[in-house]
Amino acid sequence: MELYPITPNHYLALSAVLFTIGIAGVLTRKNVFMTLMSLELMLNAVNLSFITFAKVNSDLTGHVFVLFVVSIAAAEACVGLAIVIALFRLKETVNLDMFKSLKN
Amino acid sequence: MLEAMVFYILAAASVIFGLLMITRVNPISSAMTLIGVFGALAGLYAMLNASFVSIIQILVYAGGIMVLVIFVIMLLNLHKDDLQPMRAQPFWVILALVALFGTILGPILFCVLPNKDWTWGSLTPDFGTLMMVGEKIFSDFLFPFEILSLILLTAVIGALVMAKRKL
């Protein structure tokens, strides 16, 4: 893969790198906010792939899908943060290790 | 040449901001760096002839979702002592990145992508503009679009029910 000119492969490689960073964030952080924000990063990495393939295939369906993903991400953030508020009221913490009531 | 330079600057910015995001102790700093990632990605979308999606990325992600996240972080008012036990351990972050590089990223970068020679398609000048995307949504994707409004309504009511102290 040459550095120049920019091909679709460059964008797809960047998308893969960002997705990996997102998974690493989900796996390593104990703060529930960090998990939610890493999820947003993973969604954005996938969106970049969608937009790249939309340009490769000259097809606008990829753009429509990205708009749908953005809307679903907004709904997900809304519900997720409501759950965080409810959990914080219950446990007074946002540490994921403390949320183990369902264990045993 | 200019296109390559802009691409590499935006790509480096998004990766660096992403790495900063998963290592910060304070969630507010993480949210700010994540807004940087979204800004860089909006620039990349603009380079890919997706002008409308690029604007929506800034409006909805940086302007809507992240404001909501920052609002909730500030609402909970976490202290430094609460945050310290939840900081990222560099050892585990590096281990996770190496493991994921071996299992996901390495195969994609070195086995899948070099064997594919995708080229850019031929585009009309109005590809990705609001008019074209709108025509696509309101012709082929009208029913999913209406379902989406139901999903958003459900999410809003669900969030209210969960976050309210008592109904």
ipTM score of complex:
0.92
Question: What is the mean pLDDT of the segment spanning B119-139?
Answer: 91
Architecture of the domain spanning A8-97: Orthogonal Bundle (1.10)
Please give, rounded to a whole number of angstroms, the shortest distance from the CA of A52 to a CA of chain B.
7
Token pair recorded at residue B22: 């998963």
- How much is the pLDDT for B86? 79
Query: What is this structure's pTM?
Result: 0.92
- How much is the pLDDT for A67? 95
Of B123, B52, B136, residue with least CA distance to A61: B136
- How much is the pLDDT for B155? 95
**pLDDT cut 70: percent of chain A above it:** 99
* Contact present, A36 and B101 (Cβ < 8 Å): no
| pLDDT value at B167 more than 80 | no
**Which pLDDT band, with edges at 50, 70 and 90, does B92 fall under?**
confident
Domain boundary assignment for chain A:
8-97
Q: What is the pLDDT of residues A40-78, one digit of tens each?
A: 999 999 999 999 999 999 999 999 999 999 999 999 999
* Contact present, A51 and B48 (Cβ < 8 Å): yes
Question: What is the mean pLDDT of the segment spanning B50-66?
Answer: 93
Instruction: Look over chain B and give the mean of its residue pLDDT values, rounded to a whole number.
Output: 91
Question: What is the mean pLDDT of the segment spanning A36-42?
Answer: 94
Give the total residue count for chain A.
104
Cβ of A51 within 8 Å of Cβ of B88? The answer is no
Question: What is the mean pLDDT of the segment spanning B47-55?
Answer: 93
Choosing among B75, B113, B156, B167, which should be mutated to test the A contact, i.e. which has the most A CBs within 10 A?
Answer: B113
**Which pLDDT band, with edges at 50, 70 and 90, does B57 fall under?**
very high
Cβ of B121 within 8 Å of Cβ of A55? The answer is yes
Of B112, B43, B47, B102, residue with least CA distance to A1: B112
Cβ of A20 within 8 Å of Cβ of B86? The answer is no
Chain B CB contacts of A52 under 8 Å are 48
- How much is the pLDDT for B37? 96
Please give, rounded to a whole number of angstroms, the shortest distance from the CA of A104 to a CA of chain B.
24
* Contact present, A99 and A30 (Cβ < 8 Å): no
Choosing among B66, B80, B87, B100, which should be mutated to test the A contact, i.e. which has the most A CBs within 10 A?
Answer: B100
Please give, rounded to a whole number of angstroms, the shortest distance from the CA of B22 to a CA of chain A.
5
Q: Give the DSSP per-residue string, chain B.
A: -HHHHHHHHHHHHHHHHHHHHHH-SSHHHHHHHHHHHHHHHHHHHHHTT-HHHHHHIIIIIIIIIHHHHHHHHHHHT--HHHHGGGSPPHHHHHHHHHHHIIIIIHHIIIIIGGG----PPP--TTTTSHHHHHHHHHHTSHHHHHHHHHHHHHHHHHHHHHHSS--
Cβ of B120 within 8 Å of Cβ of A61? The answer is no
* Contact present, B81 and A87 (Cβ < 8 Å): no
Please give, rounded to a whole number of angstroms, the shortest distance from the CA of A93 to a CA of chain B.
8
